[in-house]
Structure 1
Amino acid sequence: MRRRSSLTAEKDSDPELKQRPGRAAAHPATRGRQGPGEEPRMGKRPFRRLGLLGKIKRMMMVLLFVYVSIPFIIKLFPSIQAKLVFLNFVRVPYFIDLKRPLDQGLNHTHNLYLEPEAGLKIGVWHTVPAQMWRDAQDKDGDWYRSTFSSAHPVILYLHGNAGTRGGDHRVQLYKVLSSLGYHVVTFDYRGWGDSDGSPSERGMTSDALFIYDWLRQRMEKTLPLYIWGHSLGTG
């Protein structure tokens, strides 16, 4: 009895000999080792950065999503399509006074406004041939209209979407055509530049036909009237 009691007391005093019910005490030498039938413990995986191929795949997925979404967005919001086609809200260069073509380097150009419809005004520029630039100084609209009866042919320029009749690249074209001996007449469709109204395909066509007829009434019948369209203006 004394020997059994001493063994029990020794067992209780030694924490290594204590056992939980139903489980055997683990020997210090076997701690951390995988026993038979035990599942391996999974440690935390280190964070892996995306490689170049992974970044390209992710970018392609984003582009594909945007590409597929565009038709649905346009279907739900038709007004967006008109904005993307006409881009009339883009004015480059900004902060220019279209009433003063001289500020754009056109010292032989007259600004005027015509009404293709009642209550609707569109802005127009008339650049005379470069040979007339001296005579054009400080002249009014009546003088510019009288020059259509000269022997110089006329080019009606229909600009594309975005910007105004005062765009830098367009101004350079007016100068080139003027130096070749042409009258150059250009305008901003309704909804563009300082013209009234809102843009539409029908409105653009109506404005172009109105300016064409207006020129024909003031030109010599024998002189040609050329139409130069760019981008959207070719339609």
Structure 2
Amino acid sequence: MPHTSQGFLARARLYLVGIGAIYAGAVFLLGIPYFQSHTVYLNAIKLPWFANFDAPEKYGLAPNKTLNFKLNTADNETLGAWFILSDSYYHSLPSLPSPVSAHVEIALRKRPTILFLHGNAATRAFKARILHYEALSARLQANVLAIDYRGFADSTGTPSEEGLVKDARAAWDWLVSRGARPEDILVMGHSLGTGVSAQLGAELSRDGIRPKGVVLLSPFSSIRELLNTYHIFGLVPLMRPLAMIPYMTNVVTWALIHKFDTLRAVPNITADVVIAHAQNDWDIPYTHSEVLFNAFLAPYLPQVDSPMNPMSIKKDEWARISEQQRVRSVKHDALVTRTELPHFGSVEKFEADGRKVILVKALAGGHDYLGVQEGVQDAIGRALGFF
């Protein structure tokens, strides 16, 4: 019996050492630009494999509803793209549109268009994304332009943060060049695409352009904070073991070359914004969306002083800070309206300076399927004038 126990303990130690070595190796690779890029973008995973983008019908879209084409970026990359007609326009035609290209400009004038910027990995033909196109073109009655970033699917080039933002702007410019009005274009990003959408929204604002809105589905505040809050399989905190080594987490985050700092983009976005997140999202905690919503709200709330040394704060200073917190809370409650929706979740909203910001927290939907929920689509539709 003692030999059996010793053998079990020896194997357990061996497994733990092996897991630790794999973990240490994975974290080390995150600091190397090549591996970091492949981890952030996962663009080598081209699901569905060997996709035929000329035949979107194979992946669930209606016959002759989608135009497969290529668009060019300002730095001469070529992006694969799908333009999907809204259901209302598609069904208004006496026969199937042929060729689809002849209907693009008419459809852009008839209905709003959603520029859909997807997350990492896979392609525009991935099943979860197809479900989004179907839902958006049906429930919101919108056209959809879906692109594959550089280095993804059949697009040329290598992905980078700056490059993905250029790709999004190229898609925006393509829509405008074909007659779409900026106020009829909604910029929608999912997961990694929210980092791209936020930067595109900030860029458009700097150029004096106001889109129909910016929607962030399952966003993160920054890649750095995502690393700090990420849980493997929703259970094991990725960075917790490193936190036991002084300054080690700082070393890893310092090595990040792809930052996608949405929080920094927030002050520069002047369009209406809808943020949506599922509370059962295992990939990106919904607290990231709360942080972003509060960042939009913060400029309209009174400041609260932070004591230099909380341990030695004096009584009169504590009273002053407490009063500041009370005033801030009163102002918060006056600005923000919150609606609880049984069995669905909640919606928080505030309006200021002619712009509204909405936070939708759904009870379910996970990471990949939040945007296909009718409740989420309805919140977007009501907030941004689709209905």
Give the alignment's TM-score, normalised by structure 2. Answer: 0.45
2: CA distance, partners of 1:79 / 1:114: 27
Verify the 8 A CA contact 2:74 2:166 in the aligned structure 1: no
2: CA distance, partners of 1:202 / 1:146: 32
Q: Which amino acid aligns with 1:115?
A: N
Aligned residues: 188
Aligned to 2:126: 167
> Deviation at 1:128?
1.0
Partner-residue secondary structure (3-state), 1:207: helix
Aligned to 2:249: none
Name the larger-Rg structure: 1
> Deviation at 1:101?
1.1
Out of 79-88 and 124-133, give the one that drifted further. 124-133
1:94 equivalent to 2:49? Answer yes
> Deviation at 1:139?
2.3
Shift in alpha-carbon separation, 1:50–1:176, aligned structure 2, 3 A:
farther
1:125 equivalent to 2:82? Answer yes
Verify the 8 A CA contact 2:118 2:192 in the aligned structure 1: yes
2: CA distance, partners of 1:162 / 1:183: 24
Verify the 8 A CA contact 2:89 2:107 in the aligned structure 1: no
Q: Which amino acid aligns with 1:91?
A: K
> Deviation at 1:79?
0.7
Out of 66, 69, 87, the position equivalent to 2:25 is: 69
Please, which runs of 5 or more residues in structure 2 have no aligned partner? 196-387
> Deviation at 1:96?
1.6
> Deviation at 1:177?
0.7
Q: Supply the RMSD in Å over aligned alpha carbons.
A: 2.3
Aligned to 2:97: 137
Verify the 8 A CA contact 1:148 1:219 in the aligned structure 2: yes
1:154 equivalent to 2:113? Answer yes
2: CA distance, partners of 1:222 / 1:188: 21
Aligned to 2:213: none
Deviations along 1:179-226, whole A, 9 cap, x unmatched?
120111110001100011111111101000121122234345374321
**Where in structure 2 are the equivalents of 1:52-63 lying within 5 Å?**
52-63=8-19
> Deviation at 1:62?
1.6
> Deviation at 1:105?
2.0
Aligned to 1:105: 60
Verify the 8 A CA contact 2:113 2:185 in the aligned structure 1: yes
2: CA distance, partners of 1:73 / 1:182: 42
2: CA distance, partners of 1:142 / 1:159: 26
1:221 equivalent to 2:177? Answer no
Shift in alpha-carbon separation, 1:147–1:64, aligned structure 2, 3 A:
same
Verify the 8 A CA contact 1:149 1:218 in the aligned structure 2: no
> Deviation at 1:86?
0.8
Q: Which amino acid aligns with 1:209?
A: R
Please, which runs of 5 or more residues in structure 1 have no aligned partner? 1-45
Shift in alpha-carbon separation, 1:222–1:101, aligned structure 2, 3 A:
same
Shift in alpha-carbon separation, 1:53–1:220, aligned structure 2, 3 A:
same
1:82 equivalent to 2:37? Answer yes
> Deviation at 1:228?
1.4
Shift in alpha-carbon separation, 1:73–1:129, aligned structure 2, 3 A:
closer
Verify the 8 A CA contact 1:85 1:161 in the aligned structure 2: yes
Verify the 8 A CA contact 1:122 1:194 in the aligned structure 2: yes
1: CA distance, partners of 2:76 / 2:172: 20
Partner-residue secondary structure (3-state), 2:73: strand
Aligned to 2:277: none
Q: Which amino acid aligns with 2:20?
A: L
Q: Flag the structure with higher helix content.
A: 2
Verify the 8 A CA contact 1:91 1:164 in the aligned structure 2: yes
1: CA distance, partners of 2:162 / 2:75: 16
